[in-house]
């Protein structure tokens, strides 16, 4: 049976390879969103504009999105936003422009290679945006390197499903949010349990599929973390997009499903919005 550290190491190794290669190599190194050469097309399919993508530093978009949490968050100038599992800085750089010179965008990632890539992209961001308001911190999302009540918004894009302790992640989200702070997260989720043959695929874990949990399980964890005004919206179109891109990982997962079953009957993109009402109510805090 895999331990928490086993899972962390497996994910860290997988994403280190993606960072070194500059993007997922379909059929070799799986990721949440694979489709070599289709990173921009996939990002546009989940709601990012051509202007946002064109303004990014080269190499910031590694094709790892399954939604658009920056848009969900409705960021405002002057806010502090934290991105869980920030990778090469994709959402941090977009968020930084939204919060402006008086705001702050902080990315947290446990993979040193991803962090190095994001930090290397920062100079280009500063030059293009005319802003010095982003930073990247090394850390696990189960133990965020942030003070209590220090963030206005927490976002994440296809990352929480990778955590071996998702309940602890939601407790950490509640801890770092200021009272009234918001959560806007895109993640992969299940509408029914995956067959054991898929859950046992190592590449499916790094591809954010084997680690995904049922929609109602996510709802329960968010509630127990003490967050309120919870809104969950299922988006099956993401999996259909990956199928259209003929992604090898998703093709292998589909082949492992029962005859006649469709991927979208099991796996969906899930948008999670919530708010911290007062103090931290979570028993973990």
CATH code, 116: 3.40.50.150
Q: Is residue 281 part of a domain?
A: no
Nearest of 215, 217, 208, 213 to residue 242 by alpha carbon:
208
Q: Is residue 181 part of a domain?
A: yes
The number of domains in the chain is 1
Q: What is the pLDDT of residue 182?
A: 97
Q: Is residue 257 part of a domain?
A: yes
> Where in the sequence is the domain holding 15, given as residue range(s)?
4-275
Nearest of 56, 36, 22, 12 to residue 242 by alpha carbon:
36
Q: Is residue 283 part of a domain?
A: no
Q: Kindly report the pTM of this predicted structure.
A: 0.88
Per-residue pLDDT of the chain in tens (285 residues, 90 and over written 9): 567 787 787 778 777 887 887 655 433 344 444 444 467 777 887 788 899 999 999 889 887 788 899 999 999 999 999 999 999 999 999 999 999 999 999 999 999 999 999 999 999 999 999 999 999 999 999 999 999 999 999 999 989 988 989 999 999 999 999 999 999 999 989 898 887 777 666 555 555 676 788 999 999 999 999 999 999 999 877 766 666 655 666 777 777 778 877 777 888 889 999 999 975 545 554
Q: Is residue 280 part of a domain?
A: no
Residue 240 burial (CB < 10 Å; 0-12/13-18/19+)? middle
Q: Is residue 284 part of a domain?
A: no
């Amino acid at each position: 049976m895999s331990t928490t550290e086993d899972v962390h190491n497996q994910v860290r190794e997988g994403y280190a390879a993606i960072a070194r290669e500059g993007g997922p190599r379909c059929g070799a190194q799986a990721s949440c969103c694979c489709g070599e050469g289709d990173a921009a097309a996939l990002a546009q399919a989940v709601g990012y504009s051509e202007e946002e993508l064109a303004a990014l530093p080269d190499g910031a978009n590694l094709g790892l999105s399954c939604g658009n949490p920056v848009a969900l968050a409705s960021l405002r100038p002057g806010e502090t936003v934290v991105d869980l599992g920030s990778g090469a800085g994709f959402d941090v750089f977009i968020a930084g422009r939204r919060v402006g010179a008086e705001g702050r965008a902080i990315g947290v990632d446990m993979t040193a290679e991803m962090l190095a890539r994001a930090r290397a992209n920062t100079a280009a961001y500063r030059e293009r945006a005319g802003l010095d308001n982003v930073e990247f911190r090394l850390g696990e999302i189960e133990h965020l390197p942030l003070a209590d009540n220090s963030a206005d918004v927490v976002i994440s894009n296809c990352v929480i499903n990778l955590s071996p302790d998702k309940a602890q992640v939601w407790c950490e989200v509640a801890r770092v949010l200021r009272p009234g702070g918001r959560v806007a997260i895109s993640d992969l989720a299940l509408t029914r349990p995956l067959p054991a043959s898929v859950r046992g695929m190592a590449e499916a874990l790094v591809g954010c599929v084997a680690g995904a949990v049922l929609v109602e399980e996510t709802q329960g964890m968010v509630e127990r973390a003490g967050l309120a005004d919870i809104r969950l919206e299922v988006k099956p179109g993401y999996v259909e997009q990956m199928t259209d891109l003929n992604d090898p990982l998703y093709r292998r997962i589909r082949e492992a499903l029962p005859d006649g079953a469709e991927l979208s009957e099991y796996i969906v993109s899930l948008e999670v919005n919530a708010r911290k009402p007062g103090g931290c109510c979570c028993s973990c805090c």
